Amino acid sequence: MSTLNEPLQYPTARRDDSIVDDYHGVKIADPYRWLEDPDAEEVKEFVEKQVQLTNSVIQKCETRSKLNETITKLFDHPRYDAPFRRGDKYFYFHNTGLQPQDILYVQDSLDGKPEVLLDPNGLSEDGTVSLNTFSVSEDAKYLAYALSTSGSDWTTIKVKRIEDKNVEPDTLSWVKFSSISWTHDNKGFFYSRYPAPKDGEVVDAGTETNSNLYHMLYYHFLGTDQSHDILCWKDLENPKYSFGGTVTDDGKDMVLKTHLGWSGGIDLEPQSVLLLEYLLLYIGEGCDPVNKLYYCDISNLPSILETFRSENSPHPFVKLIDNFDAKYDYIANDDTVFTFLTNKDAPKYKLVRVDLKEPNTWADILQESEKDVLESACAVNGNQLIVSYLSDVKHLLQVRDLKTGSLLHQLPIDIGTVYDISARREDKVVFISFTSFLSPGIVYQCNLGTGIPDLKIFREIAVPGFDRSEFHVNQVFVPSKDGTKIPIFVVAKKDIILDGSHPCLLYGYGGFNISITPSFSVSRIVLTKHLGFVYCIANIRGGGEYGEEWHKAGSLAKKQNCFDDFISAAEYLISTGYTQPKKLCIEGGSNGGLLVGACINQRPDLFGCALAHVGVMDMLRFHKFTIGHAWTSDYGCADKEEEFHWLIKYSPLHNVRRPWEQHPDKSIQYPATMLLTADHDDRVVPLHSLKLLATMQYVLCNSLEKSPQTNPIIGRIDCKAGHGAGRPTQKLIDEAADRFSFMAKMLGAHWIE
């Protein structure tokens, strides 16, 4: 393994040994509790010293400039998303290559002249203002859009007129975890928010760590001040619930999804409304794929809004699903007959139908598959569906009959990932976005109005200098510790010899029912081509790759299965000759950062390098900060005795040990480790990485006069950046060059032209 010329001199961080918590009779010290305050001068000093240390290490990584230059060159290619239609207009996102943020364009037809509708790049000098979510009104006259600053989850909703591109005065603040759903009269929309800070409370949105409680659902009338918005739903008895509202497509019903609450008031003007419009309210608790589902007939919208506004009136929502037993996603409706995608008694999902007039009678329309996960269904062409299945971590597309669920056609797509199906129920033409490890991106246009679906390439993304024929992708199934077969994708140069000599990057996630499917990455292609890396993804338990049973097998009391699966994947790559421990790096972000942190604690001998992005590292206190309380559905909570005993066994912060004291081989040390976080990450707040960084540097290095730990333990702490979403192109490139040049140096990988 390549090392730095001299051992690092780590900053000394103050230890406060007086901070000791009692968890159900077990005393747990927390000497770096002070690092939880992002505004404290001492914390800022700690961060500054760590940044200086990391910069000094990165400067010694010889491939840094080559990586930055080559990634930049390959990144500089035009990218497009699938177009979508509203009213008589089409909209799509496009980036010429190195623009910080993608730009939203509008055109009158698919071959009409595109006009810039929203360019986030003009909203900040450094590209750190990004588009979080948006919605176009049904008549295509207005764009409502939510902007995020520095990657924060907090957003501000603005409104723009599409015809003349003028920005309206409407400004909605304290919005987080919200969709935007217009009513069919085009006079306003539903959105979700949290209460504003109390008077006198100073909050730097994005760096604060306060718990997010009391979500609310509101209705906003165009052209009015936010103080007049109408509160449609809140739940003071359940402050951790979240709420989302969706207006149904057919203009009759609106389904309300509950995730958090609303409030306000306004003088209502009489207005014409469409018949049969429903609002669906989705109510969420934690991150499990379960929700309550209420509905409200908003055909007479002024009357309903008056009811919402009146504190004395009973709420107009009807409770269709009033427990957290399963997930229900709206697909389509005809009058009172609704079709939903659900995992009720179907861990791999199915389609069901119910008439609101007979809410206790549900019928299966498309039954659960024995093997494949039904990920999505999109109503198109009147009475058809495009359904997407995940089959061994690869997508399959089918056209089915909406009324009967019967199979009409298979759509021929390559092995890879369908990440967007762009169409509405009235559309005969559907746009499908596809990617894979060796396909930068294809947008297919599928015409369903011709009998047999006509699938053709609408746009294909080309990366100059990338030749897919140089690479090979393989999928293998590897037994974990308990015998469960774990899928692993392996991407490498063609015809490599399996002699254990190759540097290898193994990536994993394994949580929250999220599936990690094939996708194209410029930086990882550069690693494979120019540094000889083998790149791998392990689809470990905890994710959604095989449905809800796969998810549950890697959560709560069974979380250790995730780490066992990942360790088994690493051992497979070594035993088959792809790599060896000193040439193997593991990487993961968020829940995947926790995965990396736990695995280097449990098997420090197995890896040469570790990259942990924005990880959940303090498993005893994560639920106390921002939206952390929602993750207890996957992890549990240390406030409960049984769950504390699960968490303390693997919490990265609480399991840092000197491996040379635990292992017969006294030369064993931790792999070279980089913990990555950002000052505006208000999802997994930076304190997780900062506390683990201080702990590792103390236990492994600073507490000993001459430590065997010579592999560096460093932190890359980004400024004006968040959990990952909305990061401008240059920041993405810079971070990739930093972490991968560090990895290359630590694994002894050399540049290949």
Question: How far, in Å, CA of 238 to CA of 573, rounded?
Answer: 47
String of DSSP letters for 109-175: STTSPPEEEE-GGGG-SSS-EEEEEEEE-TTSSEEEEEEEETT-S-EEEEEEETTT-PEEEEEEEEE
Question: Which is it for strands 534-538 and 504-508: parallel, antiparallel or unpaired?
Answer: parallel
Question: How far, in Å, CA of 598 to CA of 48, rounded?
Answer: 26
> Is 21 an active-site residue?
no
Question: How far, in Å, CA of 25 to CA of 334, rounded?
Answer: 58
Neighbours of 417 (CB within 10 A): 24
Question: 595: which 2 tokens?
Answer: 């995965």
Neighbours of 63 (CB within 10 A): 22
Question: How far, in Å, CA of 741 to CA of 718, rounded?
Answer: 17
Question: How far, in Å, CA of 458 to CA of 69, rounded?
Answer: 31
Set 427, 681, 718, 734: catalytic member: 681
Set 299, 515, 590, 689: catalytic member: 590
Set 288, 679, 723, 738: catalytic member: 723
> Is 681 an active-site residue?
yes
Question: How far, in Å, CA of 503 to CA of 1, rounded?
Answer: 11
Q: How many CA atoms lie within 13 A of 76 on its CB side?
A: 7
- 196 near 169, Cβ under 8 Å? no
> Is 723 an active-site residue?
yes
Question: How far, in Å, CA of 51 to CA of 8, rounded?
Answer: 13
DSSP E strand stretches across 573-620: 584-589, 609-613
Residue type for 742, please?
F
Q: Dihedral (C-alpha) 260, 266, 272, 276: value to the nearest 10 degrees?
A: 20
Q: Which of 465, 421, 464, 426 is nearest to 445 (CA)?
A: 421
> Three-state DSSP class for 665?
coil
Torsion 215-217-223-228 (CA) sign: negative
Question: How far, in Å, CA of 215 to CA of 193, rounded?
Answer: 6
Q: Which of 188, 177, 192 is nearest to 304 (CA)?
A: 188
Q: Which of 149, 95, 100 is nearest to 121 (CA)?
A: 100
- 456 near 468, Cβ under 8 Å? no
Question: How far, in Å, CA of 131 to CA of 390, rounded?
Answer: 29
Neighbours of 400 (CB within 10 A): 19
Question: How far, in Å, CA of 90 to CA of 216, rounded?
Answer: 32
Active-site residues, by number, are: 590, 681, 723
